Amino acid sequence: TLYRRMRAKDMAKAVTLYRRAAELGASDAQYRLGQLYEGEEGGGVATDLAAAAAWYERAAKQGDDDAKKALARLRGEAESSES
């Protein structure tokens, strides 16, 4: 539908802007990219848990508590799946 195409276009633009801000060091954008790569529905990027962890880690190193929690959760899930 038209709505879905417009939403996809808007999300692609949002991802571009988040990435630009994240690369400039904005921890909130780094955290948001982590969420999107983790597979948030309608995120505009393919699920990539390694990329999610990398973005969470960058944000966590800047003191972002939500990113620290998300990173710990992701690492815990990875350890559980390896057992």
User: What does the pLDDT look like over 35-58, one tens digit per residue?
Assistant: 999 997 667 789 999 999 999 999
| Residue 35 backbone class (left: φ over 0; alpha: ψ -120 to 50; beta: rest) | alpha
Long-range contacts of residues 35-41, Cβ cutoff 8 Å, at least 24 apart: 35/70, 38/70, 38/74
* pTM passes above 0.85: no
Helix runs in 1-83, H state only: 2-23, 27-38, 49-61, 65-82
Listed residue (78, 77, 75, 55) closest to 67, CA to CA: 55
Q: pLDDT above 90 covers what percent of the chain?
A: 65
Contact 25, 64 (CB under 8 A): no
